Amino acid sequence: MTAGLAATPTAAAPSYRAGGRRRADPARLGPLALVAAVVAVNLVVLHQEASVVSTLNDSSFHEQMVRYATLQFDRGHFPLDGWFPYLGLGSPLFLHYQSLGAMVAGLLGLVIGPDHAFSLLLYLLLSLWPICIYLSARLLGLTRWQAAAAALVSPLLTSVTNVGYEQISYLWVGYGVWAQLFGMWMLPLSWGFSARAVRTGRGYAVAVLFASLTIASHFLSGYLTAAPLLLLLLCRPGEFRSRLRRVLVIGIGAALSCAWLIVPLEQFSGYASVNEFLQGTASADSYGARQVLIWLFDGSLFDSGHFLPVLTVLVGGGLLVAIRRWRADETTRLLALLFVTCLVLFFGRPTLGPLIDVLPGSRDLFLRRFLMGVQLSGIYLSGVAITAAVAGLRNRLARTPAAFLARREGRAVFALATVALALTVLAPSWSALFASDSRDGAAIRQQIAADASEGGEVGTLVAQALALGPGRFFAGMPNDSWGPNFAVGEVPVFKYLANFDVDIVGYTLRTASLMTDPEAYFDEYDPGDYPLFGVRYLILPLGRQPSPSARHVATEGPYALWEVVGVGYLRVVDTQGSIAANRANIGENTADFVRSTQPLHGPYPVIAYGATPVAPTTVSGAVPSGDAGRVLNSEPNLEEGRITGTVDAIRPAVVVFSASFDPGWVARVDGAQVPTEMVAPALVAVPVGAGRHRVSFTYAAPGDYPQYFSLAGVTLVALVVLPRWRRRRAAR
C-alpha cells in the first residue's frame, strides 16, 4: 500500500463541483499547504538575516567576495580572471575557490548593492529550502506526503559539528558557511534530476546542468553528486547496461560542462596551499567510525541540543521501512544506500585511510563536511518514516467501524489530525529552533547598533589612512592575546576591516594563497615582519604601543591609527640560499626565516618550489652591507591586479612585490618581460641589475574561459537535441 497521509485510489475518477469546476483534492493541496506553512514560519523567524550587518564568522569573507565580484562586473571584468587582493597577501581566489554563489550574488549586487544581495540571498535560500527538499524528494520518487513530511523536518536539523545543513551553520551566531548554502540547494536537485534521468533515459540536460551547478557552487557537495549515479546501477542489476550508459552520459556531460572550473583548477592546483594547521585534525580528516556512530546513536548528528532525539528516531524508522520494502521500493532502497555511503565518507581518513585518496584533491577536502550527505538522505528517510507511521495508523483505523474515514471529508479530517500530531511530536525541536533564531536576531540587532557607532569610528580611521596612500593593514590576529577581544561590537577589528575592502594581514587562513600559511607566523613584535608582509597601517587599542617605529596618525574612540613609515608593497633586496618547499609545507619550512632577523635587511632565500628550477641568487659569498637599493615610488592598483614602481638598485638584486607568488604574475623591467621567481616566504620577485629601473607586476589570468563556457553551452544543447533526434528516428 502506498504510504501517504491521505492516499486516494489510483484509478479514482476526478470529482467536480456544481458548474463543472474541479473540487480541491486534499491529497494534492495538503502537502503543498504543509510546505508553504513551513516556509512561512522560516520567513518570519529568520527575517533578521536579511539585515545588512557586519558578520562575526566566515560570512565576512564571503560577503567581501560578493563585493569584489560586483566591482569586477561593474568595471567590465570577469571575477574568475581577477586577483583578489584583500586576504592572504592576495590570490586568484575565484579560480581556486567555489565562487559561483559569489558571482551570482555579485550580479544581483549591480542592481541592489552587494551587501544587500548577500544578506537577501542568505535569508531567502535558508527560508525557502523546504521547497527544494519537497521538489527534490518528488524527483527522487517519493510521494507528495513523503516529500512534504521531509520538508517539514528539514529546518530542524542540529548537529554536534554545526557545519552541516542545520540553520546554525549559516546564521550570524554560527560558522557562516555561505558557499555551502548554494550547494545545499543544488545537491538535492542534482540527486533528483540525476535519478530521474538514469531511471527514464530522459532529462539528461537538466541533470547535467544541476550536477554542474552543484560542483561549481560547493566543491564538497560536488563529490556527492556522483553518489546516486553509482548507487542507481546497483538498485536494478537487470538494467545495469542501460543505466550505465545513462550514468556515463551524465558524468561526461557534467565534466564537459564544468571544464571552465575543473581545468584551470587542476592546472594551477600546485599553487593552491594546503592548510597546514588543520592537517591531521578532525576538521580536515573527520572523526572516524567509532565517534561518528556514537554521535549517530545518541542523536548528535540530527538532534544535538534537542530535548528528544525525534529526527534521529525518524531516520532510524526510515531505514527500517527501506529494509522492509527492499525488493519492492527502489526509491527507499536508494535512500538507504545513500545514507550508508555518505556515513562511510563522513567516517573520513581515520577509518578509510589511504582509500580516501581515491577522491581527486582529497588533501584539500574537509572530510567532516560529508555530514551534508548523511543529513540530506536522513531528511528524506524521515519523510518516509512519518508517512509510513501515519499509513499504519490509518490502516488500523480502517479496520474499525469508523466508516467516516472512507469518505473524502473523513480523509481530509484525518490528514489534518495527523499533521497536527506530527507538529506536536516535533514541537520541542521547533521550540529549540525558535530559541536559536531568536538569539541570532538579538545578536544581529546589537551588532547593527555597534556598526553605527564604533564601526563609524573605525571607518574614519580607515579613510584617514587611505588618504595618506595605499597600504596593508594590521589590527590583531586570531591567536594573539588581544586581537579576538579588540572588536566592534562582537566582531574583532581584524575581521571588521574586511567591510572596507582593504588589504589585511591577520585575518589568517581564509584563502588558498601560498602566503596564507606563512602569514600565520607574522609577529607584531618583530620589526622585520612589517616590511616583509608589507604592513603599513596599524589599528590598535587606545594605549597600546606598536613594536616597530611608527607614527601616530589619529584616534577615534578606543581605536588608534599608526603608520609604519617607509613600508610599501615593493622592496629591493639581496637573495642568498634556498628553502625547499611545496604547497603543503611552505609555511612550516619558511617559519625560521620569518622569525629571523633577515626580513629586516635581507638577504631573502629563494624558494625551491616542487620541481620548479631554483632561481639564481644575487649573492653567493659574504652579504654586502647596507640595503640593496630603494624604492623611489610605487603605484599599486591591486584590485586591477597590477603595481608599477621605480627602483634604484645599488647592485644586482631582486625587486620583491609583497604579494603571494602565483604563476599568473607577469613582470616587466624597463618594458621587457622578465621571468618571476619565488622568494621566502612565498613572495613574487623579479631580478634587476644595478641602476634605476621601471618595474611592473601584472596578474594575467588563464584566459580560456570563453572557450570553456562555449563547450558547456554546446554540451547542454547537444543533450537536449540528440536524445530527441534519436527518439524521432526510432519512431519512424
551 within 8 A of 565, measured Cβ to Cβ: yes
Cβ 638 vs Cβ 85: under 8 Å: yes
Phi, psi dihedral angles at 501 (to 5 degrees): 55, 50
Q: Which domains does the chain have, with CATH numbers?
A: 448-563 (no CATH), 570-699 (2.60.40)
Say how far apart CA 392 and CA 406 lie, in whole Å.
15
DSSP secondary structure string for all residues of 369-405: GGHHHHHHHHHHHHHHHHHHHHHHHHHHHHTTT-GGG
Question: What is the model's pLDDT at position 516?
Answer: 97
The residues, ordered by sequence, that sit 6+ positions from 666 with a Cβ below 8 Å of its Cβ are 673, 676, 697, 698, 699, 700
C-alpha cell at 71: 566591482
Q: Which residues 6+ apart lie within 8 Å of 731 measured at CB?
A: none
Contact 180, 169 (CB under 8 A): yes
Cβ atoms of residues 603 and 619 within 8 Å: yes
- 66 neighbors 117 (Cβ within 8 angstroms): yes
Instruction: Please give the C-alpha separations between residue 555 and each of 200, 399, 465, 482, 564, in angstroms, as whole numbers.
Output: 68, 81, 12, 18, 16
Start-to-end Cα distance in the chain:
40
Spatial distance between the Cα atoms of 568 and 564, rounded to a whole number of angstroms: 9
Report the C-alpha gap between 119 and 489 in whole angstroms. Answer: 19
What is the per-residue pLDDT for 17?
43
Question: Residue 134 and residue 380: Cα distance in Å, rounded?
Answer: 9
Q: What is the mean pLDDT of the chain?
A: 92
**In a 3-state reduction of DSSP, which class is residue 257?**
helix
pLDDT at position 406: 54
In whole angstroms, give the CA distance from residue 533 to residue 550: 16
Q: Tell me the residue type at 690.
A: A
What does residue 72 show for φ and ψ, rounded to 5 degrees? -65, -45
Closest CA to 151 of 66, 237, 40, 56: 40
> Which helix (H) or strand (E) element contains residue 63?
helix 59-74
DSSP assignment letter at 24 = P
Which of 511, 165, 515 has the alpha carbon at shortest distance from 346? 165
pLDDT tens-digit map of 478-525: 999 999 999 999 999 999 999 999 999 999 999 999 999 999 999 999
Alpha helix (H) residue ranges in 141-258:
144-153, 178-200, 204-217, 219-224, 226-235, 240-257
Distance CA(504)–CA(489), nearest Å, equals 20
> What is the rounded CA–CA span in Å between residue 586 and residue 578?
12
* Three-state DSSP class for residue 130: helix
pTM for the structure as a whole: 0.93
Cell numbers for 310: 525525534
Ramachandran angles phi, psi of 657, nearest 5°: -100, 125
d(CA 228, CA 19): 47
pLDDT on residue 148: 95
Which letter, b or e, does each residue of 553-581 get, where b requires 16 or more Cβ atoms within 10 Å of its Cβ? beebebbbbbbbeebbbbbbbbbbebbeb
Q: Which residues of the chain have pLDDT under 70?
A: 1-27, 397-419, 421
Burial status of residue 730 (CB atoms within 10 A of its CB: 0-12, 13-18, 19 or more): exposed
